[in-house]
Amino acid sequence: MTEAEAANELMRLAKAIARHDRLYHAEDTPEIADADYDALVRRNAELETEFPQLVRADSPSRKVGHAVAASPLAKVPHEVRMASLDNAFSGEEVAEFVARVRRFLNLADETEVVMTAEDKIDGLSCSLRYEYGRLVRAATRGDGQVGEDVTANVAHIADIPQQLSPLPLAGGAGGGPVGSGAEDKPSPDPSRKREGEWNGPAVFEIRGEVYMSKLDFTELNGRLLAISRALAQSKGEEFELSKARQFANPRNAAAGSLRQKNAEITAGRNLRFLAHGWGAASDVPGTTQFDAMQAIAGWGVPVSPLLTRCAGLDAMLSHYRHIRERRPDLPYDIDGVVYKVDRLDWQQRLGFVAKAPRWGLAHKFAAEQAETTIEAIDIQVGRTGKLTPVGRLKPVLVGGVTVTNVTLHNRDEIGRLGVRVGDRIILQRAGDVIPQVVDNLTREEARAPYAFPDHCPECGSEAVAEEGEVDVRCTGGLICPAQRTERLRHFVSRGALDIEGLGEKTIAEFFGEGWLESPADVFRLRQRRCEILTREGWKDKSVDNLLAAVENKRSPDAARLLFGLGIRHVGAVTARDLLRRFGTLPKLREVAELADEESKAELTAIDGIGPAVVEALGDFFHEPHNREVWDDLLTDVTPPP
C-alpha cells in the first residue's frame, strides 16, 4: 500500500468510525454489529502502526465515545476523564499485553504480575460522584470529557444507593489519590470527612455500567409491542411489527431508559448497576484494584461476583474460559473479560496512552455458535434487483435469541460454503447481532450442489452478475414487481420520507390494485379515498390518518427524497453530501446528466463520492423511465430550498 492509499483509507475509516460512534454512544441506534465496528477500529490501528506519520488529528484512536448530542439533559464535565479500554481477541494478544506491562515496569523475571479479571458488562457507562458518602451527581460518559447529568434518573435505580454505608472503623485505610488525578484538584474540607457516620473518602466517584437484565429487556419489549398494537387499533390502522417501537438489545434499552428527561420513565424500566472502578477520589480505600473494589462493595454498591485476582497469564486465561462458560446463564449481557493490573502504584506508573490505560485490557468473546439444519433456500429480490439467498433454518437458540433465517449473501458465498438444503451448519451471531453461517458440517455428503437461479424468480427476467461484481441482479428493472414494491417500501421507510401507515402489507395491497406504481402515486392516494374505503379493514379514520401522513410529507427534506429514490450507491449520508454541494435536486440532476469529464470531476471532488456513485447517478438519469418518475414526483412535492 502506498502512503497516499493509506491516507485515503485512514480518512474513510475516521469518517465511518465517527459516524458509528455517534449512532452508538449519542443516539443509541447502532447500524452495525460490535464485531464489524471492532474490525474497523483494528484496521485503523494497523494502518497507524504502519504509517505513524499519517495519524490524523481526528483519529478514532484519540477519541473516547462521542460528543454529547443535542439533549434536554444538562452537560457535565468529568473531573477525571472517563477512558475506554483497548481490545484483545486472542490469548496471544493477552500474552503480549502482560509482556508490555512487564517491559514498561522493567520487572525482573521472577516478579509476579497480578491482575484482576471480571466480566465486561455490555451497558452504559456511568460515573457516580459521592461527597461524604452521599450521591451528589451522576453522569454518562459522553466523549470522556463531558457527559450528561442523569442524577435524577439514577435515583430510581435500586442498585445505586443515595447514601453509602460506612466501612467498619478498623478497616478502609486510605491509600491516597492513586491514579485518580485528584492530587491537583481542590477537595471538600477534610475536617468534615467523618461527618455523621461516614468514615470514607470525602470525594469518591464510583464508575460502572448501567444495564438491563435479559429478563427485564424481554418484558420491556413485550410492553412496548402491546402499546404499539393498541395505538394502531385506536387509530384504526393496521399493526405492523416492523414499525413497532422496540429496543434492539439490552444495552440500547438501558441507554434509552437512562437518558430520559422525564425520570419517571427511567423509574419504570428496572435498570441495574455494577461498579468496575472509580474516577476522582480524595482517598482510595486500598493499595490494590481488588481491595478498592471490595471496599466499594462494602459501601453497598454492587460489584461483579465474578471479579477475582489472577496471578499470571495462565490464571487470567483460565478465568476467561470460566466466565465464557457461565455467559449463557448470566442474567445480563457481557461481551468479554476485563483485566487490570492489581497494584495501584503500578497503575500510576503505567499511566495512559491515547484514549486507554496501559494497565487495562478488554478480552472480547468470539460470537456464540450453535448447530442447526438448512430446511430451504429462498431468493429475495431487492430494490436494486439484487438476488439475495436466504437460508430457512430449523429454529435454534443462539445467544439467547431464536434464529430461524440466515442470509447467505450471494452466489459466491453459497459456493464457498457449499451449502444445500438439508445441510447441517454451524451458525453464529456476528457481534451477537447478525446471524451468519461459519461452517458446513455436511458439505462432503453426496448431494447435488445448489443451483443459483439465472432468471429472476419474480418476473422471469435474466439475472446476471456484472463484470467485477459478485452480486447477481435481475435485469428486469421496473418491470419486475419485486423491485417496484421494494423501491416503494424504501421510499416511505423511516430513513427516507418516513410516511406512517404505509407499511409492507399496505404497499402490497395498493400495488396489487394498481394504485401504487411509482413514488409519485403515493401523493395521489387522496384521489383513491373512496376506493380505499371499499377495502376490508379500512375505515374513515384510518384512511384519513394515512392521507394526512402523506400530505405532511409534501415538502420533504431534499436529501431524504433523494435517498428515497433508491439510486444505487446513494445512501443517506451520500445523499446529504450531494445536496450540501449542489443545493437543489434540479442542480444535481443537471450535473449528473451531463456525464462529461468536468461534471464527473465536480462530483468526485466531494469527500466520499467515488466513481461508482457518479456512474450510478448517470445511469439513473439516462434511463427514460427514471426521468419520468423524477419529473412526475417533483410535480407533487416541493422540497424546501
Catalytic positions are 120
Q: Is 641 exposed, middle or buried (0-12, 13-18, 19+ CB in 10 A)?
A: exposed
d(CA 116, CA 309): 4
Q: What is the 3-state secondary structure (H, E, C) of 214-276?
A: HHHHHHHHHHHHHHHHHHHHHCCCCCCHHHCCCCCCHHHHHHHHHCCCCHHHHHCCCCEEEEE
Q: What residues pair up with 129 in beta bridges, in sequence order?
A: 137, 205
Residues whose CB falls within 8 Å of the CB of residue 542, separated by 6 or more in sequence, listed in order? 235, 236, 237, 238, 501
Spatial contact of 247 and 147, defined as CB atoms under 8 Å apart: no
Instruction: Give the up-direction half-sphere exposure of residue 544: CA atoms within 13 A in the CB hemisphere.
Output: 4
CA–CA separation, 296 and 286 (whole Å):
10
Q: How far apart are the C-alpha atoms of 281 and 296, rounded to whole Å?
A: 12
Q: Phi then psi for 420, rounded to 5 degrees?
A: -140, 165
Give CA–CA dist 146/79, Å, rounded: 9
The residues facing 387 across adjacent strands are 381
- Find out whether 341 and 147 touch, Cβ atoms under 8 Å: no
368, 67 Cβ separation under 8 angstroms = no
**CA 341/CA 163 separation, integer angstroms:** 29
Note whether 432 and 412 are within 8 A (CB). no
Residue 394 CA: distances (Å) to CA of 368, 378, 450: 17, 14, 18
- The DSSP annotation for 269-328 comes to T--EEEEEEEEEES--SSSBHHHHHHHHHHTT--B-TT-EEEESHHHHHHHHHHHHHHGG
How far from 400 is each of 219, 324, 598, CA to CA, in Å? 14, 14, 55
Q: Cell match 465517527: residue? A: 18
How far apart are the C-alpha atoms of 370 and 438, rounded to whole Å? 10
Residue 265: count other Cβ atoms within 10 Å of its Cβ.
14
